[in-house]
Amino acid sequence: MPAAVYIGDGELAVRDIPVPAPGPGDVLVEVSHCGICGTDLHLVLEGYARPGSVLGHEWAGTVAALGEGVEGWSEGSPVVLDPTPGCGRCRACRGGRPSVCLERPPVDFLDFHGAFTRYVLVPAARLLHVPKSLSTRDAALVEPTAIALHSIGLSGVQPDDAVLVTGAGPVGLLTTAVLASRGVGDITVSEPARRRRERALAVGAARAIRPDELPRAPMGRPVERPFSVVFECSGHAAAAEAALDQLDFAGTLVFVGTGRDLPRINHNRMIVMELTVMGAYNYDGSGFGPALELLASGSLPLDLLIEPVDVTLDGVGDAMRRLAAGELPGKVMVRPEVSR
């Protein structure tokens, strides 16, 4: 089967790889669509990926073949993969934070068998049915939607809060749309690219500004129009530093986007204003069920969150470069075919 394989030096190429055979308890899933994630961009464009690996974890598909002993699934059923739950016993799990369960196997982003190809092999026990009202293309948005739900839940944001989202790429846009669907009305998005600012307004932001329009903070006092919660979705150090400056007393900054440059955090400001800075990683303990429900509810503008034109396996590298350059606002979906 054709796959977009990482070949080193920030490049992908279409190669033929064997179709995996389902073992006992496994299901072979035919990938319908797989979204390109910020993590994929870091791994490929910054050269961290292991040559020979196939990336892509934001997929939805249909059951293609069942391994021995698998019951309750039939060929053609639309499915997504639910994340591994925490152990339920460790300090993190007991505190309601299974996304950082202490008993997890170490995360190995390099040893990866992803879905930028035609078939993936998954344990049947971790499959979820895609609701009838949701296409598999839209269902491929389940993982980033679950991430947005998790960061929003951790932040403690309330509907009457003034919220700032820094960065309006796929993650910032999804965070904005999910906030709006949760009744948050006062959302400002800061983003340098005009097309992304326009898209932010279309998916639920009340205001979209350039990062240079954010004021510098006076010492020990809030800016004129402060925010109670900021979601930093850009992964840029300058955005994180500006984000902290925009918080009101007792405000919360949630780091959602990873990045290479490290921000300088003004601890004096955090002390005097009792600010909270937190990271949000992965998903809630309830897994992908609530995200599937939200996607199927029709309350998210999926046609604006997903780019209208899908790419094929030979176009993944190019789409990654365009995403990194800020040219594409929404999530790019990959169809596991080859165009030429």
**Shortest spacing between CB 17 and Zn ion, in angstroms:** 22
Pick between residue 21 and residue 125 the one whose CB is nearest to Zn ion: 125
Query: Do 7 and 51 contact (CB within 8 A), yes or no?
Result: yes
Six token digits for residue 5:
């394989």
Query: Do 109 and 48 contact (CB within 8 A), yes or no?
Result: yes
Tell me the C-alpha distance between 132 and 109, whole Å: 32
* Three-state DSSP class for residue 180: helix
Six token digits for residue 119:
């078939």
Site membership for Zn ion, residue 100 (CB under 5 A): no
**Shortest spacing between CB 86 and Zn ion, in angstroms:** 4
* Three-state DSSP class for residue 203: coil
42 is catalytic: yes
* Three-state DSSP class for residue 312: strand
150 is catalytic: no
Binding mask 10-49 for Zn ion (x = CB under 5 A): ---------------------------x------------
Compute φ and ψ for 250, nearest 5 degrees.
60, 25
Pick between residue 41 and residue 229 the one whose CB is nearest to Zn ion: 41
* Three-state DSSP class for residue 292: helix
Which of residues 13, 17, 65, 90 is near Zn ion by CB under 5 A?
Answer: 90
Pick between residue 12 and residue 244 the one whose CB is nearest to Zn ion: 12
Site membership for Zn ion, residue 101 (CB under 5 A): yes
Residue 14: name the closest of 332, 312, 314 by CA: 314
Site membership for Zn ion, residue 334 (CB under 5 A): no
Residues of span 42-81 touching Zn ion by CB under 5 A: 58
Catalytic one of 39, 62, 84, 276: 39
- The residue written with tokens 């007393």 in the block is 249
Residues of span 295-314 touching Zn ion by CB under 5 A: none
Which of residues 1, 17, 87, 338 is near Zn ion by CB under 5 A?
Answer: 87
Active-site amino acid positions? 39, 42
Residues that bind Zn ion (CB under 5 A): 37, 58, 86-87, 90, 93, 101, 103
